[in-house]
Amino acid sequence: MKILVVDDEALARKRMLRLLEELGDCSVVGEAANGKDALVQSSALNPDIVLLDIRMPEMDGMETAQRLSQLPNPPAIIFTTAFGDHALAAFDAHAVGYLLKPVRKDRLAKAIDSARRLNRAQLSLLQAPTQIQTRSHLSISNRGNIQLLALEDILYFVADQKYTRVVHQQGEALIEESLKSLEDEFGDRFARIHRNALVAVAHLTGITKDGDGRHYACLAGSAEHQAQLEISRRHLPAIRKLLKEFSS
């Protein structure tokens, strides 16, 4: 089996290569540090399996998987991630495997064996386009347990280094999904106020302005957080328009 390893962290790729070498019944044909490079290498190398990290810059693993499925000879996708909050999305993406980091060798071997049983024709049928339904909940990892968080309870999303911080009515959580993918899926329910933030339209109540001329979003139920939610000049007209539509 020809395998392409995709992860933006060099140490994670190195560890995965070592595990694959220990398994001994597969061949690593390449490495990629981001989704765009993964697409280029997949087109050139035609791997049977792509071991794909989810949270990566530029293009995350979910979008990469969707684009890989559109190749003439799509590879089998095995997701690898440090968080367990993408299991439902991975199922929707028709992944043949979903491995939590640190990846165990026995689980990796089992996932590769599952992929090996699929020939290209079967994989093409498995990855046939389906109607994607917008999720009503996000799956959140909390101390090793998976919890479902209703979208209606989410106040806003903020980019936080490699992750996205979800602030909701019960507290906060980190997920691996990018703001861009969340905006693409939930654009009718969340509005972008800054390059680093999305707010829930249903909780948006107004705009405040400080002495320095900076504008901030006011959200119902988030008095302790709203001072942090600055609205950029670029997005201010759209937010004003949105509030005007609500009040009319």
Express each pLDDT in 40-95 by its tens digit.
899 999 999 999 998 887 778 888 888 888 788 889 999 998 876 555 455 555 67
Q: CA angle at residue 112 from 64 to 29, to 5 degrees?
A: 60
Please give the Cα distance from 78 to 117 (Å, whole number).
14
Please give the Cα distance from 73 to 107 (Å, whole number).
25
pTM as predicted: 0.55
| 176 or 154, which is more confident | 154
Q: What are phi and psi of 5, to 5 degrees?
A: -100, 125
Average pLDDT over residues 133-138: 70
Average pLDDT over residues 201-221: 90
Considering the segment(s) 2-126 as one domain, its CATH architecture is 3-Layer(aba) Sandwich (3.40)
| Topology of the domain comprising 147-247 | OB fold (Dihydrolipoamide Acetyltransferase, E2P) (2.40.50)
> Number of helices and strands (H, E) in the chain?
8, 15
Lowest-pLDDT range, 61-65, 136-140, 224-228?
224-228
Residue with tokens 């989410």: 154
| Long-range pairs of 210-219 with CB within 8 A, sequence gap ≥ 24 | 217/156, 217/193, 219/155, 219/156
Please give the Cα distance from 43 to 88 (Å, whole number).
27
| Residue 121: pLDDT over 50 | no
- The domains of the chain are located at 2-126, 147-247
pLDDT digit string (tens) for 123-133? Answer: 555 554 444 44
Question: What pLDDT, on the 0 to 100 scale, is given for residue 19?
Answer: 96
Share of the chain above pLDDT 90, in %: 45
